[in-house]
Amino acid sequence: MRNALKRALIETNLAARAYVASQRLVQPARGRCVMLFPNEMYTGSSGDLRACAIARELRRLGWRTVVVPPWLNAVSRERVVRSERPSVIFLHQSRHPLNRPALYPGIPCVFDADDADILLNPRPAEECCGGSAAVIAGNHFLAEMFRPYNSEVTVIWTGSYLDRSPQAEPNCRRKPVLTWAQADPQDYPLEAGLVRDVVLQLARHTRFQLHIYGARDSERMHSFLAPMGDAGIDIRTFPPLRYVPFVRSLEQAAIGLQPVCFENPFSRGKSFGKVLGYLAAGVAVVASHAVDHPLFFRHGHNGMLARNLAEWVECCRFLLGNPDARGRLVENAYADFRRRLTTRRAAELVNTVLLQAAGSGVPTPTK
């Protein structure tokens, strides 16, 4: 068993090295280089959207990019760094033990994070911030958390490379479908409680179908769904889906819910992860008046913002009852999405940070 595990690890590492080497075949051998270390790489993940997809756009901006799979071991990473001689290293998230600036002496690093890991496990995030030439935060709350450890902090929202499907039904003609597209709803009990209360009160005024994603066979999922089912609400559940099928399935929905509850500290790191799916699929968004939502959504113009349960219910009731107004809201939101929340736009902002960091040398931590 031990030999089989060792052999599997060796094969995995060889595959990762081959992946790194293959990137040389489609890029110039020389030129300004950024090496990116994503925390994860599966499609639609934070690492995919904030590192892998960004790398593809950075090539358009003149960078030679090398994406290093998270399963590449420390020895191979060191070998790749020596071979590629990057101008700057991009570290995505602090969860990976090898995503530490101290492991890459003499090379300026940019640390990127879009989750509030610093609240749950402060030391790694503090090390990443303090040892980096610059920091990129997914929202303004995270930026304020990072600034005591590094004064060079830039907020860059997550973008998406998906576009609207030509086959998607216009929102104004969609059936009254309400959805909460949280990948792991059972891990967000406060938000799940808010969604349940909104749905139960809304059902007193209007009829609709509810779509719930990330449904798993668990006691918490059953307890979440049971009160709504008992109230006679038509519920359709979806298992975890891959990113593109997930977004395409959202094209059935008229309204998407984006709740954020500050009683859950980890939620304060959230920005537009699931919102990106809604926007690309032409879904009208009702979001908490929290985190960076008010900096993108203008209430009644490109989305709806709610501060309390009554406002949540009223926003949903209005949108369900006014399909033409809902359609106009979705078109405004899509225009703003194309202007502010695409991978290309995020990469342009990342490009500026990387250029500054590459010329700054090795930083002196502020704390």
Based on the fold, state whether residues 224 and 125 are members of the same structural domain: no
Based on the fold, state whether residues 216 and 325 are members of the same structural domain: yes
> 101 near 121, Cβ under 8 Å?
no
- Going by pLDDT thresholds of 50, 70 and 90, the confidence category of residue 359 is confident
pLDDT in tens, 299-341: 999 999 999 999 999 999 999 999 999 999 999 999 999 999 9
How high is the pLDDT of residue 365?
41
Is 112 a member of any domain? Answer: yes
How high is the pLDDT of residue 16?
75
pTM of the model: 0.91
Is 325 a member of any domain? Answer: yes
Cα dist from 245 to 44, 97, 143, 165, 241, whole Å: 11, 32, 32, 12, 6
Nearest one of 225, 228, 227, 226 to 238, comparing CA atoms: 225
- Going by pLDDT thresholds of 50, 70 and 90, the confidence category of residue 360 is low
Is 43 a member of any domain? Answer: yes
> 316 near 22, Cβ under 8 Å?
no
Based on the fold, state whether residues 315 and 350 are members of the same structural domain: no
Write the CATH number for 117: 3.40.50.2000
The whole domain housing 179 covers 171-340
Based on the fold, state whether residues 126 and 199 are members of the same structural domain: no
Is 366 a member of any domain? Answer: no
Is 2 a member of any domain? Answer: no
Tally of structural domains, the chain: 2
Cα dist from 43 to 39, 46, 53, 246, 324, whole Å: 13, 9, 10, 11, 34
Is 56 a member of any domain? Answer: yes
pLDDT in tens, 261-290: 988 777 888 878 889 999 999 999 999 999
3-state secondary structure of 48: helix
pLDDT (mean) for 62-77: 94
pLDDT (mean) for 92-100: 96
How high is the pLDDT of residue 333?
98
Based on the fold, state whether residues 83 and 143 are members of the same structural domain: yes
pLDDT in tens, 111-159: 999 998 999 899 999 999 999 999 999 999 999 999 999 999 999 999 9
Is 364 a member of any domain? Answer: no
Based on the fold, state whether residues 153 and 245 are members of the same structural domain: no
Based on the fold, state whether residues 59 and 201 are members of the same structural domain: no
Based on the fold, state whether residues 241 and 348 are members of the same structural domain: no
Based on the fold, state whether residues 119 and 230 are members of the same structural domain: no
Q: Which residue has the higher pLDDT, 45 or 28?
A: 45
Based on the fold, state whether residues 185 and 333 are members of the same structural domain: yes
User: How far is the first Cα of the chain from the last one, in angstroms, to the nearest whole number?
Assistant: 46
Based on the fold, state whether residues 353 and 324 are members of the same structural domain: no
Sequence-ordered list of residues with C-beta below 8 angstroms from that of 269, at least 6 positions apart, any chain = 113, 114, 115, 116, 117, 119, 138, 139, 141, 142
Based on the fold, state whether residues 20 and 150 are members of the same structural domain: yes
Amino acid type, 253: A
Question: From the CB of residue 167, how many other CB atoms can be counted at a distance below 10 Å?
Answer: 7
pLDDT in tens, 218-263: 788 889 999 999 999 999 999 889 999 999 999 999 999 999 998 8
pLDDT (mean) for 61-65: 95
How high is the pLDDT of residue 247?
95
What is the per-residue burial (b if ≥16 Cβ within 10 Å, else e) of 321-358? eebeebbbbbebbbebbeeebbbebbbbbbbebbbbbb
Is 365 a member of any domain? Answer: no
